[in-house]
Amino acid sequence: MIVLNYISNDEKKFKVYVANHIQQIRDVSTPTQWHHIASGNNLADHASRGSEVKDIILHWINPPNFLQQSDFKIPTTKLEKTTDKLPEARCLSTSVKEIPGLLGMMERVAIHKKKQKLTPLQLRKKAIRLIIKTAQSRLENRHLKHLDPYTDDDGIVRIGGRLKYSTTLTIDLKHPAILPKTCHITNLIVQYYHRLTGHSGRGLTTATIRQNGYWITGLSTAVSTVIHNCIICKKLRGNTETQKIAVLPAIRLEPATPFHYSGMDCFGPFHAKDGRREVKRYGLMFTCLTSRAVHIELLDDLTTDAFLNSLRSLIAMRGNVKSLYSDQGTNFRGAQTELKKNLAEINAELHRELAE
């Protein structure tokens, strides 16, 4: 009977080892092909029980009546469902609390509105109380252990405290309603008061929630989670990105004398007095790319000739310059063209002298 219950089972789940063997049997046969033979009619049963030879011969000579018929049928036996008692069956007993859905809550509030003719404010308060009671169905005893809880006339679980006899405070301030931390309703409440406080920090949001009559278990964690996931807060409080610094060029890493490799740029203008007239003057800054030393020259204007005079002054004071780096200003590019032209003329004259 146990084997038949295994094979004909369609409800219970068995352990992997048993389930695999049952599936192998059902792959090559159907449960209706399997039958139960009572011990009195089972010929093989006598051989397995240590019977004497004469008893075994007697049963084999005189088999059961249904085996002696040409079109014999095996007697059917009523199958008793015993899989609940089998150790191989996975019997999971769970108790599920029925949490009323939003549609059910709306229907109950609508019924109360028709019966009692509630005002919009009363209807709103009644709906809030009903939603709070629904969220409180997820509270656990460990959440209420140190809160001295009690249930008010509306069935809402509230915290106790020493302000019970206060006449100036409302019931929500004296005894806030307890809500679980992990609940969608709780999350909506935290989000609402977070937006109401102008996306403030955890402290102000927490204080506002408690001032409005809600005591959420693990409130700091719930508020921190909402603030962490808030897109506006990420934009307002997020850290600014920093540009990745480029790799230093080779000239910054080679040892050299000061201003052997230099960068340069102009700055200004500065207004100065030349006699009675006011003129503009500019500064030209040279920076050593090796030692970071700085040399400043004065420019009368931003022409190529003024720059070349300052460059000659730099070379006279600081020594020869091998490479100059700039922002490709017009005066720098004009000086580059003129220097290349002068160098070509010097090379041609030098060739003639050497040829003679």
Name the residue among 175, 215, 211 with its Cα closest to residue 196. 211
Which residue has 């080779």 as its token pair?
250
Instruction: Determine contact, residues 107/70, Cβ cutoff 8 Å.
Output: no
User: Is this model's pTM higher than 0.85 or not?
Assistant: no
Helix, strand and coil in the chain, % to nearest 5: 50, 15, 40
Band of residue 91 on the pLDDT scale cut at 50, 70, 90 = very low
Residue 98 has pLDDT above 50, yes or no: no
Q: Where are the alpha helices (DSSP H) in the chain?
A: 2-8, 16-28, 43-47, 53-61, 65-68, 102-116, 120-136, 141-144, 171-174, 184-196, 202-211, 219-229, 231-237, 304-318, 330-355
Name the most confidently modeled range: 15-19, 181-185, 187-191, 351-355.
187-191
pLDDT more than 90, % of the chain: 30
Q: Within 13 Å and on the Cβ side, how many CA atoms surround 262?
A: 23
Judged by DSSP in three states, 306 sits in helix
Domain 251-355 has CATH 3.30.420.10: yes
Average pLDDT over residues 305-313: 93
Write out the two tokens for 265: 């740029």
Q: What is the pLDDT of residue 188?
A: 92
Residue 97 has pLDDT above 50, yes or no: no
Q: In Å, what is the CA distance from 205 to each residue of 121, 197, 202, 219?
A: 25, 7, 5, 10
Q: What is the pLDDT of residue 104?
A: 64
Residue 297 has pLDDT above 70, yes or no: yes
Strand partners for 185 = none
Q: What is the pLDDT of residue 304?
A: 92
Residue 132 has pLDDT above 80, yes or no: yes
Average pLDDT over residues 7-19: 79
Give the start-to-end residue ranges of the domains of the chain: 2-90, 103-237, 251-355
How are beta strands 214-216 and 177-179 bridged, if at all? parallel
Instruction: Determine contact, residues 264/285, Cβ cutoff 8 Å.
Output: yes
Judged by DSSP in three states, 289 sits in coil
pLDDT more than 70, % of the chain: 86
